[in-house]
Structure 1
């Protein structure tokens, strides 16, 4: 059990250092180039796409429908609402399909 707690603490520390490291590096610059800012703004979308695209390509129809539904909800609502809506859609489609 202590190994698991140590691993979780270590992962939390690495995550924190990664996040604070970006802020520390960017705080050294007075103003960042608009291209760098645009690239940094695109990172969350790129990471999410990299995580979701394999699921769309390899899973069934329920996943392929639920992911765009989640994205559409996310355009207007909060993250919690969009993920909840996507999960409800996925579960409903899986229930219908089975």
Structure 2
């Protein structure tokens, strides 16, 4: 097999083990401490912020405005509409601003 196939398979295995590992560890507890639960619920927002923040800081006005708009929308709407409106916002602002 080629090196590329081995890299893909290793990446798939690492992803699978990471995902299933968290489930296996947490399934051993009958009750999860509220702080652990709060921390786990904060992970998606933290990851999303780590992905989006550099664009706002280093790329342009459209990205910064979109981040500000989405931050406000996230206070009032569920996640899926916020994602959809965020995509529409960045596409529209990139078209208008450049």
Q: Shorter-chain TM-score: what band?
A: 0.7 to 0.9
Q: Given the two structures, how large is their TM-score scaled by the length of structure 2?
A: 0.76
Q: Does 1:75 align with 2:77?
A: yes
Q: Given the two structures, how large is their TM-score scaled by the length of structure 1?
A: 0.76
Question: Going by fraction, where is helix more abundant, 1 or 2?
Answer: 1
- Give, in whole Å, the separation in 2 of the partners of 1:48 and 1:9: 26
Partner residue in 2 for 1:11: 11
Q: Which has the higher contact order (CA 8 A, sep 6+)?
A: 2
After superposing on structure 2, the runs of 4+ consecutive aligned residues of structure 1 that deviate more than 6 Å are: none
**Unpaired runs of 5+ in structure 1?**
none
SS in 2 for 1:32: coil
Equivalences, count:
96
Partner residue in 2 for 1:57: 57
